[in-house]
Amino acid sequence: MSDAVTYERRDGIGVITVNNPPVNALGQAVRQGLKECLDQGLADGEARALVVTGGGNTFPAGADIREFGKPPQEPSLPDVIDAYESSDKLVVAAIHGTALGGGLEVALGCDYRVAVESAAVGVPEVKLGLLPGAGGTQRLPRLAGVQNALEMITGGNQVKAPKARDMGIIDAIVGADLVDEAVAYANKLVSEAAPRRPIRDMEASAESDSVFDDFEKGLQKKARGFLAPFHCVKAVRAAVDLPFREGLKRERELFQELMDSPQSKAQRHVFFAEREVGKVPGIGKDTPKREIKSVGVVGAGTMGGGIAMNFLNAGIPVIIKEVKQEALDKGLSVIRKNYESTAKKGRISMDDVDKRMGLIMPTLDYDDFKDVDLVIEAVFESMDVKQDVFETLDRVCKPGAILATNTSTLDVNRIASFTGRPEDVMGMHFFSPANVMKLLENVRGDKTSDEVVATVMDLSKRIGKVGVCVGVCDGFVGNRMLHKRQAEAVALVDEGASPEQVDKVIYDFGFPMGPFAMSDLAGLDIGYSIRLERRKAGDPDAQELTWLDKLAEKGRYGQKTQAGVYRYEEGDRTPKPDPEVAELIEQHRRDKGITPREVSDQEILERCMYVMVNEGSKILEEGIAARALDVDIVWIYGYGFPVYRGGTMFWADQVGLGEIRDRVRQFYQDQGGEQWKPSPLLEQLASEGKGFHDAK
């Protein structure tokens, strides 16, 4: 008997408890234990009915994802659930925490389900590129109706217990003493001779045939490029079209197709990577962390205001400073407006707005930072300005306060050198809009202490960010790779491609938008001023004006001026090709003596993507990112890399590093340029037939 699941009798009811912390995942030992304890309960003459529940924090939260891709081990989860559904004793599922995936499917194999108010249920398999593969696509439509099932299964989101009760998934909300309440509930059912209720005997019906086609049409936009959501619809349709057993078979076929798909492998990789990224190699779990009870923000502009909101959302008081009262007032009104618009959408209450605004202390005086535990500056991207800010913070802030910079392009080590406490200085590179984008590049300076790294990484989670620890270089991880892609995209247009052709290739790959639509969104003036700084600093790659620069010099900054690479109608953000831009590009080619040529979509894809893979490989060689998964997560959370491709380096592994190495060598031979010089790590892994995720 496995101790992963225990059996006891309470007040005439057999109680089966899963004990497999932290989430009671349904690994082989648990499945075996569930089967054995069911047999024990059925054989127990004094057990009038059975209750199944999870020990610790939650009802089982799903199959054990770590088992996926390995040879299946008996008993299978569908068989275990079938045994519960065939039990000749009534079974009640007692739910707390999150009954997810296979966990909810176990509960659906029971006759009745009770839950505490704070519990949630869901089938998040679609987020792993899968579908509920243990009967969920067949039982949920029968129990909660087709529409509810389609929404839950293709969305993968959690449903709170009260709503789940309204949907018919939960039969009763019970008090905090869950097991005792469930035992009493079971006894009551027995005393009332309540019937067994195997869901497989229920009918699933759709209002009309068009339900599924209409639902699929609604998926086209938000699930663009994904495979799993569309397989989910097919599985639910089978619940309506086929008898239960055949529907199960169809579910299993579709599940296996997804399990074997590159997309699911990618999404399962991301599931673990987005958790692993928070564990910085060399920074042990027991590294002391400083308590962050209050935060200072220097600058109340777009970034400063957005940064402040992250802390306010987490209930952390913020002192925010500006140079002039007018700028301070403007900054606060923008924060309030942001919260009010969120409240209008029903995501927070007006009471939340007031509470969060009540945590802000505006000031014009650096001295007000004297007691804060951490300060983040979000001032103008100029080293002189940063020097002034950090020298002042160093003088004003208490010993042990962490001094952070939101710089996206400047040298964090140089900034740290302006203080007498470089070990307390770190980069915290937020992505705009800072209160929305989940990625936070935490830039570790040469002298940053382990304690500060551990504190900032922990704080990232606390404010709902995905923090990635990166090293100091120009552009850190994300922007350094992005700049290479941008340069290739610009060059491809020089050579004959149109901006819209390049954008379409990258959009069709799965990004939310192409490089030039993205430039118009961010503002061409931003890139132009960065290149201007580089030109002034004598950077050889920045000496010539690009056609993008020439657009910026004409005041075409993008969406904010309704004209950039594309044209924008008033109030419409749809990019429209502009003949004026095509003419400027043709003139630019003539000025450079370029005869335009046909450029294939494949070449566009390879040059834009492989240049990033090569740069990512160099980033790993230099230790700017510790692992390939760090680079993957930066690109998924910072730039919308399609999650079903797993991130830049995971996708490269799926393409095959030999293929990529050969193309990088070819581009280096054809065009030269540092960006195409093959990374030694890429060469080595390719020669060994390995991937970036094999590298230790």
Q: How far is the CB of 81 from ligand T1G (least distance, A)?
A: 9
Residue span binding ligand T1G (CB under 6 A) among the ranges 57-65, 329-337, 378-386, 404-412: 57-65
What is the torsional sign of CA 423, 424, 425, 428?
Answer: positive
**In whole angstroms, what is the distance from residue 48 CA to residue 313 CA?**
49
User: What is the C-alpha to C-alpha distance for residues 540 and 145, in angstroms, rounded to an integer?
Assistant: 64
Buried b (16+ CB within 10 A) or exposed e, 615-637: bbbbbbeeebbbbbbbbbbbbbb
- Interaction between residue 169 and ligand T1G (CB under 6 A): no
Whether 105 is catalytic:
yes
Query: How far does Cα 315 stand from its chain's mean position?
Result: 22
CB of 583 to ligand T1G, least distance (A): 52
For position 282 contacting ligand T1G by CB under 6 A, the verdict is no
Using the rule CB under 6 A, is 70 a contact of ligand T1G? Answer: no
- CA 80 from centre of chain: 32
Report the nearest approach of ligand T1G to the CB of residue 450 (Å): 20
Gap between the Cα atoms of 591 and 588, Å rounded: 5
Among 2, 28, 32, 98, binds ligand T1G (CB under 6 A): 98
CB of 72 to ligand T1G, least distance (A): 11
Residue 158 contacts residue 100 (beta carbons within 8 Å): yes
Closest distance of CB 122 from ligand T1G, Å: 8
Give the active site residue among 36, 74, 105, 274: 105
Selected binder of ligand T1G within 222, 224, 275, 590 (CB under 6 A): 275
Among 22, 399, 420, 571, binds ligand T1G (CB under 6 A): 22
In the bound state with ligand T1G, the residue whose beta carbon lies nearer, of 16 and 25, is 25
Q: Which of 29, 65, 190, 361 forms a contact with ligand T1G (CB under 6 A)?
A: 65
**Residue 19 · residue 5 · CB < 8 Å:** yes
In the complex with ligand T1G, which residue's Cβ is closer, 33 or 62?
62
**DSSP structural state of residue 291:** -
Q: Which is nearer to ligand T1G, 70 or 536 (CB)?
A: 70
Q: What is the DSSP string of 429-455?
A: EE-SSTTT--EEEEEE-TT--HHHHHH
Total residues interacting with ligand T1G, rule: CB under 6 A: 25
Q: Least CB distance from residue 16 to ligand T1G, whole Å?
A: 19
Q: Are 455 and 290 in contact (CB under 8 A)?
A: yes
Q: In what order do the strands lie in the sheet with 49-54?
A: 5-10, 13-18, 49-54, 91-95, 112-116, 172-174
The answer to whether 105 contacts ligand T1G (rule: CB under 6 A) is yes
Q: Is 258 in the site for ligand T1G (CB under 6 A)?
A: no
433 CB neighbour count, 10 Å cutoff: 13
H/E stretch holding 522 reads: helix 515-522
From residue 438 to residue 457, the character string flagging contacts with ligand T1G as x (rule: CB under 6 A) and all else as - is --------------------
Does residue 583 have an active-site annotation?
Answer: no
Based on the shown chain and the rule CB under 6 A, indicate whether residue 630 belongs to the binding site for ligand T1G: no
Edge to edge, what strands does the sheet with 98-100 contain? 98-100, 120-122, 159-160
Binding window for ligand T1G (CB under 6 A); candidates: 96-104, 300-308, 318-326, 415-423: 96-104
Q: Report the 10 Å Cβ neighbour count for 118.
A: 12
The reply to whether 107 sits near ligand T1G by the rule CB under 6 A is: no
Between 256 and 333, name the residue whose CB sits nearer to ligand T1G.
256
Q: Does 266 bind ligand T1G (CB under 6 A)?
A: no
Candidate segments 99-107, 171-179, 298-306, 357-365, binder of ligand T1G by CB under 6 A: 99-107
In degrees and rounded to multiples of 5, residue 568 shows phi and psi of -130, 125
Number of H helices and E strands in the chain, helices first, is 28, 17
Q: Please tell me whether residue 615 binds ligand T1G under the rule CB under 6 A.
A: no
Alpha carbon distance 150, 233 (integer Å): 7
**Least distance (Å) from ligand T1G to the CB of residue 695?**
21
Stretch that binds ligand T1G, among 85-93, 120-128, 175-183, 425-433 (CB under 6 A): 120-128
Helix ranges (DSSP H) in 600-656: 601-622, 628-639, 648-655
Minimum CB separation of residue 76 from ligand T1G in Å reads: 9
Q: Which range, of 97-105, 146-154, 372-380, 507-515, touches ligand T1G by CB under 6 A? A: 97-105
- Asked if 274 is part of the footprint of ligand T1G (rule: CB under 6 A), the reply reads no
Q: How far is the CB of 643 from ligand T1G (least distance, A)?
A: 14
Q: Which of 41, 54, 101, 647 binds ligand T1G (CB under 6 A)?
A: 101
Task: Name which of 438, 464, 439, 457 is nearest 279 in CA terms.
Answer: 457
- Listed ranges 22-30, 80-88, 301-309, 383-391: which one lies at the site for ligand T1G (CB under 6 A): 22-30
Q: Is 654 helix (H, G, I), strand (E, B) or coil?
A: helix
> Between helices 499-509 and 478-495, what is the axis angle to 10°?
140
Using CB under 6 A, pick the residue from 50, 92, 94, 100 that binds ligand T1G.
Answer: 100
Stretch binding ligand T1G (CB under 6 A), from 59-67, 171-179, 563-571, 638-646? 59-67
Say whether residue 153 binds ligand T1G (CB under 6 A): no
Find residue 362's DSSP bridge partners.
320
Kindly tell me which of 23 and 497 has the beta carbon lying closer to ligand T1G: 23
Q: In the range 125-144, which residues lie near ligand T1G by CB under 6 A?
A: 125, 128, 130, 132-134, 136
62 is an interface residue for ligand T1G by CB under 6 A: yes
Task: Considering the candidates 36, 117, 125, 659, report the single residue annotated as catalytic.
Answer: 125
247 lies in the site for ligand T1G, by CB under 6 A? no
Interaction between residue 15 and ligand T1G (CB under 6 A) = no
**Could you please report the per-residue DSSP string of 319-377?**
EEE-SSHHHHHHHHHHHHHHHHHHHHTTSS-HHHHHHHHTTEEEES-GGGGTT-SEEEE
Binding mask 413-432 for ligand T1G (x = CB under 6 A): --------------------
> 547 or 644, CB closer to ligand T1G?
644
DSSP E strand stretches across 81-169: 91-95, 98-100, 112-116, 120-122, 159-160
- Residue entry with tokens 């490989």: 617
Query: Could you give the CA distance from residue 155 to residue 664 in angstroms, rounded to a whole number?
Result: 39
CA count, 13 A, side-chain hemisphere, 371: 7
User: Contact at 8 Å (CB) between 678 and 664?
Assistant: yes
From 25, 47, 298, 318, residue interacting with ligand T1G (rule: CB under 6 A): 25
Nearer to ligand T1G, 78 or 362 (CB): 78
Give the other-Cβ count within 10 Å of 133's Cβ: 24
152 belongs to the binding site for ligand T1G (CB under 6 A): no
Question: How far apart (Å, rounded) are the C-alpha atoms in residues 649 and 629?
Answer: 7
Binds ligand T1G by CB under 6 A, chosen from 13, 18, 23, 161: 23
CA angle centred on 689, ends 687 and 693, rounded to 5°:
115
Give the residue with the Cβ less far from ligand T1G, 128 or 497.
Answer: 128
Q: Is 525 in the site for ligand T1G (CB under 6 A)?
A: no
Q: Which is nearer to ligand T1G, 276 or 423 (CB)?
A: 276
Q: How far is the CB of 137 from ligand T1G (least distance, A)?
A: 9
Binding site for ligand T1G (CB under 6 A): 22-23, 25, 61-66, 77, 98, 100-102, 105, 124-125, 128, 130, 132-134, 136, 272, 275
Which residues are known catalytic residues?
A: 105, 125
